[in-house]
Amino acid sequence: MSSHEATSQCPFNKNNPYLATMTQRIRLSSPQGEKETYHFVVDLGGSGLTYKAGDSLGIYATNAQADVDEVIAALRATGDEQVTLPKAEAPVTLRQALTSELTLSGPTKKYLEFVAERATDPSEKEKAVALLAVDKAEECTSFLYNRAYIDLLLEFPSANPTPQEFTGFLRKLMPRLYSIASSPEKHPNEIHLCVAIVRYTTNGRKRNGVCSSFLSDRVAVGEPKIPVFVASSHFRLPEDKSKDVIMIGPGTGIAPFRAFLQERSATKATGRNWLFFGDQRRSCDFLYCDEWEQYMREGSLTRLDLAFSRDQDYKIYVQDRLRENAAEIWQWLQGGAYLYVCGDAKRMAKDVDAVLLKTAMEQGGLDEEAAQQYFKDMKKDKRYLRDVY
C-alpha cells in the first residue's frame, strides 16, 4: 500500500489536518555558530497517519501574536471587527484572519497603489507615487522586498485602510512542507524534522520565518498544537535493496537521508550507502554527527564525505567533494547506483547538477549532449531524484 493510500484511509489530510504534539525539541547547531537548526519530534498519537521515508510533513503555522497585535494597533482596530475573506463561508474576526488565515509579509505593489490613492498626508502620497513611477521599478521591488505590511502601515499611516480593505490585500497563509527525517521502520508513530530557523533583519526590523519560528518559539513541548498532514513524495529509496545509493544533502537537505539511512539499516538493505553532507562549520553545524559515526562503525554507511564551507578562508562545498571523487562516483553510477539531492534549490542543486554533468563527460567520455541524456534517462528511470526548495 502506498503512503498516499494509507493516509487516505485515515481522516486526516491537507484539508483536515491532525493536531499533533511536539514531544522533543533539540537544538542541533551550536549557539556559537551563525545558524539555528533544530531537531523536532512530532507524535502522531492515535491519528492513523502513516508515512514513508522520503515523504514530507505539511504544517499549518500561525503568525506570532506580537506581530498580529502590532498590525491591529496600526490599523487602529480592536481585532474584534468582522472581515470576510475570499471563498470563506462566514466572516471571521480581524484577529483570527491575521493570526491563522493571512500572511503578513510580502506587501504588494497593489497595496502601494492603494496608498498612493488614499494617503491624505501629502508627503506620504508623494513618496508612494514616486516609488510607483515607471522608471523606479527596481527601487520599488527592493522597497517592497525589504518590508512587511506592518512597515507600510507605519510608513503610510494616513492611508488608513479599514480592516476589510486591508485584509483584501493579504495573501493566504500557506502550509509549509518539511522533509521527514525519520523512517517509519524505526519510528512508526512519530515524525522527526530537521529545521533551519529563518531569522533576518530588513528595514531595521528583526523578522522570523512564520513556520520555522512557530516550531522553535511558539509551540510548547507536550501541547497538541501543530496542525499537520503527510505529503506523499516521489523521493523514494530503490525497491531493490541491493542497489547502491548516493545521497547529497547539505544543511537541512540532510533530513530525508537520515530517514533513508534508518530505513536501509532497519530493512538490512545490502546496497552500499554514500553520504555527502556540508554546512558552515564542523564545530557548530555537523548535524547528527554521532549517528553518522555509528552507521560508519556498523557498516550501514559505506562512505561519508564532508564539506564545511567556513572552516577555512575559501569555500568548500559538497560539489567540491563530488569533483574529488568523480572517478568513484562514475563507477557507482555505472553500477546502477541511485542518486539523490536534497536542500537549497537556488544555488546548491544547480551547482551539484553541473558537477555531475562534468563527471559524466570527463569520466565517461560523453559529450555534453550525451551526458545530459545520461541524467535525463536516470531521471526517467527514477534513479536521479531531487527534493529541493
Ligand X SMILES: Cc1cc2nc3c(=O)[nH]c(=O)nc-3n(C[C@H](O)[C@H](O)[C@H](O)COP(=O)(O)OP(=O)(O)OC[C@H]3O[C@@H](n4cnc5c(N)ncnc54)[C@H](O)[C@@H]3O)c2cc1C
Contact 320, 262 (CB under 8 A): no
Identified binder of ligand NAP from the candidate list 280, 340, 341, 383, rule CB under 6 A? 280
Among the listed ranges 84-92, 170-178, 244-252, 329-337, the one in contact with ligand NAP (CB under 6 A) is 244-252
With vertex at residue 380, the alpha carbon angle to CA 376 and CA 382, rounded to the nearest 5 degrees, is: 115
Q: Which amino acid is at 7?
A: T
Identified binder of ligand NAP from the candidate list 14, 347, 376, 379, rule CB under 6 A? 347
Residue showing the smallest CB distance to ligand X in the complex? 209
309 binds, among ligand X, ligand NAP, none (CB under 5 to 8 A by kind): ligand NAP
347 binds, among ligand NAP, ligand X, none (CB under 5 to 8 A by kind): ligand NAP
Smallest distance, Å, CB 287 to ligand NAP? 9
* DSSP-assigned states of every residue in 115-162: HHHH--SHHHHHHHHHHTSGGGHHHHHHHHHT-BHHHHHHHSGGG---
Q: Which residues contact 181 (CB under 8 A, 6 or more apart)?
A: 39, 192, 193, 194, 254, 255, 256, 258, 259
Of 97 and 194, nearer to ligand X (C-beta) is: 194
310 scored as a contact of ligand NAP (CB under 6 A): yes
Identified binder of ligand X from the candidate list 212, 262, 280, 319, rule CB under 6 A? 212
Which residues are registered as beta bridge partners of 197?
A: none
17 scored as a contact of ligand NAP (CB under 6 A): no
179 binds, among ligand NAP, ligand X, none (CB under 5 to 8 A by kind): ligand X
Of 155 and 344, nearer to ligand X (C-beta) is: 344
Identified binder of ligand X from the candidate list 8, 82, 141, 202, rule CB under 6 A? 202
- Order across the sheet with 245-248: list the strands: 303-308, 273-279, 245-248, 338-343, 384-388
Subset of residues 350 to 369 that bind ligand NAP, contact rule: CB under 6 A: 351
Nearest to 269 by CA among 277, 278, 260: 260
Residue carrying C-alpha cell 567540491: 320
The pairing of strands 18-27 and 199-202 is: unpaired
Residues lying near ligand X in the complex (CB under 6 A): 56, 176-179, 194-196, 198, 200, 202, 209-212, 252, 255, 387, 389
Residues lying near ligand NAP in the complex (CB under 6 A): 37, 196, 250-253, 278-280, 309-310, 315, 317-319, 343-344, 347-348, 351, 389
